[in-house]
Chain A
């Protein structure tokens, strides 16, 4: 993906044009981040004693580590659900007429057009003890007692997957759209069945979209404070809520800062794993 020889070198435009955005980021992103780091390096809530005690506390505390673990696991589950459900939608989108494409795009985008609070309460209505699912199953006589859907890991994963689906589907649609439809035909004419064509041609060539979709979905799922808290309820604790409790309720700002930094590093680690996986495949950035 080299630049065309005729185009001007990017650096020759002068960095001055980037200054407004750079300044914005400096003031509203880099500075708070540094403040966060500074705060996290204090051993007491008053901020008088320097040290890495907050980090040691987090990393030696089984409860904190389990919250981190369950948050990262939650992200993986949501990402997996989105990928498995989103890929067929993106695949279908490339194979239907323009009118159906509009319908699919609308359906895909719909979660983004609804307020997060409204959407989350809708899920409570659907998943609750007297909710739509339980009521339907009971009236059909399939179950006697209501299933516990709300305040479960399952409920959180489903609700988050619905919300984050566009973040997965849109990059996939773009990636699949870039694949020359003749490649499908070529593979088929060479004797490959649909599954071989999918795994050897379509999937490797759509990998940039898969990576982008997974990264976005993952990052959005593990930081989704409202959905996690409302659907998960009080018994399930994930990092955003943990952080909120430490900062707002317990006023333990240094520990909250340390949690933030550790969470940030954990997310960066997972994202770089995604990216590395993509780079390892030759399909990445190809075509």
Chain B
């Protein structure tokens, strides 16, 4: 495994973890992360992403599989010998130690003398733009500042991997964006391989080079943000990442690249077979994102009745009820004078392009 300067590679090799009760926490997870990448572990609460993070950090010994950092299998190493930096959701700063002592804590554990520790702590505090806070106590700092300190503390040990556990969840919206930019900047500067655990898809898509989507302990998809968003491999990914209309239908004809689907809503459309091959006559769920639908004037597409229209600034979202009674959302960019749609207006809808409708075999 090649390492880029500054960041070591991380391989999660067929990792499975079972709780003592026998329940599976994570099942057969494979991730191959290059040195210097930012990876987001994305999934709803309870999907096993935090368990996976704790396995990588060494707090939990996995039932099966291996963790490989750089060229070393680290499974036998306790957390204090893995050199993995962690930023906890609540920052976990030591409340009785000054900011400088917090940042220097890892160096003290490595036997670095006090003067060098303070010098290094000061350097890192300048890096996270808090040079004047060295002598304060954590409780005298704001949430954003505490997070910067937590980052500086994790970076002080020159970790091979940086793990961030829901790092921005406790921050308000504006501060969150600042900190996301800050983390990305620091990651660029240090080139350190970084793993962010999050349930916030925007955060995952905006920050990560690649996103691993987890659900119920299984890896649903591991790919670039545009892969995950535009070419979802599973129904879960399609609906969890971004919003999506789920429309049931039956396959009329299918090959490897395209499938003709008759929607229950009453139209035949061309969709992309996203979750493996589709068999003729089989039931499917077609996912179309609201922004990938358009109003059509002719007889193509399916019919519906406009329910509610929500102007959301740059876009307008219309809720349309189709012939089979299901609701479909369509979002339109607001360009000039967008045609106002009255409640109850009859419309026809169609996907913008066949590749923008994803067909998945219907699960039971």
Contacts and interface: CB of A to CB of B under 8 A. Distances in A.
A185 B96 contact: no
The CB with the most chain B CB atoms within 10 A, among A187, A189, A192, A200, is that of: A189
Interface stretch (B105-113, B281-289, B312-320): B105-113
Interface in A129-155: none
Interface of A: 180, 182-183, 185-193, 196, 200-201, 204-205, 281-283, 286-287
A106 to B, nearest CB: 24
A185 B81 contact: no
Contacts of B58: 189
Contacts of B83: 191
Given A191-B106, A191-B110, A192-B105, A183 B79 contact: no
B295 interface: no
A185 B80 contact: no
Given A192-B80, A287-B139, 20 more contacts: A180-B92, A182-B92, A185-B59, A185-B86, A186-B88, A186-B94, A187-B109, A188-B78, A188-B79, A189-B80, A190-B109, A190-B154, A191-B106, A191-B109, A200-B105, A205-B96, A281-B96, A282-B96, A282-B137, A283-B96
Contact of A205 (B78, B79, B95): B95
A191 B83 CA distance: 7
Contacts of B94: 183, 186-187, 200-201
B118 interface: no
Interface string B67-88: 0000000000011111111101
A287 B106 CA distance: 20
B204 interface: no
B74 to A, nearest CB: 13
B106 A190 contact: yes
B95 A190 contact: no
Interface string B19-59: 00000000000000000000000000000000000000111
User: Chain A contact residues: over half helix, strand or loop, or mixed?
Assistant: helix
B153 interface: yes
B267 interface: no
Contacts of B308: none
Contact of B157 (A180, A182, A191): A191
B90 interface: yes
11 contacts: A183-B92, A185-B57, A185-B59, A185-B92, A187-B105, A189-B84, A189-B86, A189-B154, A190-B105, A205-B95, A286-B137
Given A185-B79, A186-B88, A191-B80, A286 B109 contact: no
A287 B96 CA distance: 7
A187 B92 CA distance: 9
A188 B96 contact: no
A182 B79 CA distance: 13
B136 to A, nearest CB: 12
Contacts of B79: 185, 188-189
B228 to A, nearest CB: 29
Which residue among B57, B96, B109 has the maximum number of chain A CB atoms within 10 Å of its CB?
B96
A31 B323 CA distance: 90
Nearest to A284: B96
B96 to A, nearest CB: 4
A200 B108 CA distance: 11
Interface in B154-175: 154, 156-157
Contacts of A182: 88, 90, 92
Given A190-B153, A192-B105, A286 B96 contact: yes
Contacts of B154: 189-190
Nearest to B78: A188
Given A185-B59, A185-B79, A186-B86, A192 B109 contact: yes
A192 B95 CA distance: 17
A192 B79 CA distance: 9
Contacts of A180: 90, 92
B193 to A, nearest CB: 15
Nearest to B84: A189
Nearest to A193: B80
A136 to B, nearest CB: 38
Contacts of A287: 95-96, 139
A30 to B, nearest CB: 38
A182 B78 CA distance: 16
Nearest to A282: B96
A207 to B, nearest CB: 9
Of A190, A193, A200, A287, the most chain B CB neighbours within 10 A belong to A190
A113 B95 CA distance: 37
A182 B90 CA distance: 8
B95 A189 contact: no
A275 to B, nearest CB: 17
B312 to A, nearest CB: 36
B235 to A, nearest CB: 35
A283 B85 CA distance: 25
